[in-house]
């Protein structure tokens, strides 16, 4: 019974729905198209509920950690999550509280996230400084040279040689970097196709135990 619930039924549902959606694209018959659209709509609903489930799971996990020593950060996280939930929900339900929601987003959430993202620049600067501290390989030197070209070539420098540096940067971006990026994109496309086929055929079952 456990095997039926945890493995067989999820696999059967995944394969069945995947094949139906695929048939809806390959054979645009009215019935198949309607079935396809309905299944896609179901997927959106399920994803929304998964998002809510994830929120409550976050609260559950950090509520355990908050009881232990060193759980101060977890307690702050739970408090911030509940406040955000209350404020944004109240702003949606009560029009008079909408300003409160906007204020919370503009003056709390956005600055905090921007600050965290801004720390990346500092970390990258330190990493650039220590680039050759541990490794002295040819790849590291190539990486350092490419970083310098892109960093300086992006800027419209008003110095002699600025145009040459910008052209070098354009060549570097359009030829070597683009070649590598196209290879990555082809790999990603093939990987997505393969993963889709494996899920459709039941070879991969990420949804079952």
| Nearer CB in complex with other proteins: 12/109 | 109
Cβ pair 111, 95 in contact under 8 A: no
Nearer to other proteins, 12 or 48 (CB): 48
In the complex, least distance from residue 8 CB atom to other proteins, rounded to whole angstroms? 24
With a CB cutoff of 8 Å and minimum separation 6, the contacts of 135 are: none
Using a 10 angstrom Cβ sphere, with 0-12 exposed, 13-18 middle and 19 or more buried, the burial of residue 130 is exposed
Pick 1 or 129: Cβ nearer other proteins: 129
Contact 104, 84 (CB under 8 A): yes
Nearest to 86 by CA among 96, 103, 101: 101
CB of 207 to other proteins, least distance (A): 14
Torsion angle (degrees, nearest 10) of CA 121, 126, 127, 130: 160
Nearer to other proteins, 37 or 194 (CB): 37
DSSP state of 209: -
The footprint of other proteins (CB under 8 A) covers 25, 37, 40-41, 43-44, 46-48, 50-51, 68-70, 95, 102, 105-106, 109-114, 116-117, 121-122, 124-126, 128-136, 144, 147-148, 151-152, 154-159, 162, 166, 173-174, 177-178, 181-182, 184-185, 188
Please report, for residues 78, 123, 127, 149, the alpha-carbon distance to residue 136 in angstroms, rounded to integers and kept in the order given: 45, 20, 14, 19
Q: Closer CB to other proteins, residue 188 or residue 194?
A: 188
Given the complex with other proteins, which of 1 and 26 has the nearer CB atom? 26
State the DSSP H helix or E strand holding residue 201, giving kind and residue range, or none if neither: none
Shortest reach from residue 81's CB to other proteins, in Å = 13
In whole angstroms, how close is the CB of 4 to other proteins at the nearest point?
A: 25
């Amino acid at each position: 019974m456990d095997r039926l619930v945890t493995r067989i039924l999820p696999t059967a549902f995944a394969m069945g729905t995947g094949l139906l959606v695929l048939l809806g694209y390959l054979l645009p018959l009215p019935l198949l198209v309607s079935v396809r659209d309905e299944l896609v709509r179901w997927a959106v609903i399920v994803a929304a509920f998964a998002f809510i489930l994830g929120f409550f799971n976050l609260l559950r996990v950090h509520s355990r950690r908050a009881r232990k020593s060193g759980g101060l950060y977890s307690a702050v996280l739970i408090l911030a999550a509940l406040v955000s939930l209350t404020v944004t929900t109240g702003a949606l339900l009560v029009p008079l509280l909408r300003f409160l929601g906007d204020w919370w987003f503009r003056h709390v959430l956005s600055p905090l996230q921007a600050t965290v993202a801004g720390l990346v620049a500092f970390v990258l600067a330190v990493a650039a400084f220590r680039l050759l501290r541990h490794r002295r390989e040819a790849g590291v030197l190539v990486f350092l040279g490419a970083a310098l070209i892109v960093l300086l070539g992006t800027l419209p420098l008003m110095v002699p040689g600025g145009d040459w540096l910008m052209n070098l940067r354009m060549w570097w971006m359009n030829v070597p970097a683009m070649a590598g990026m196209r290879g990555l994109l082809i790999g990603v496309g093939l990987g997505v196709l393969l993963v889709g086929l494996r899920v459709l055929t039941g070879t991969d079952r990420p949804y079952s135990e």
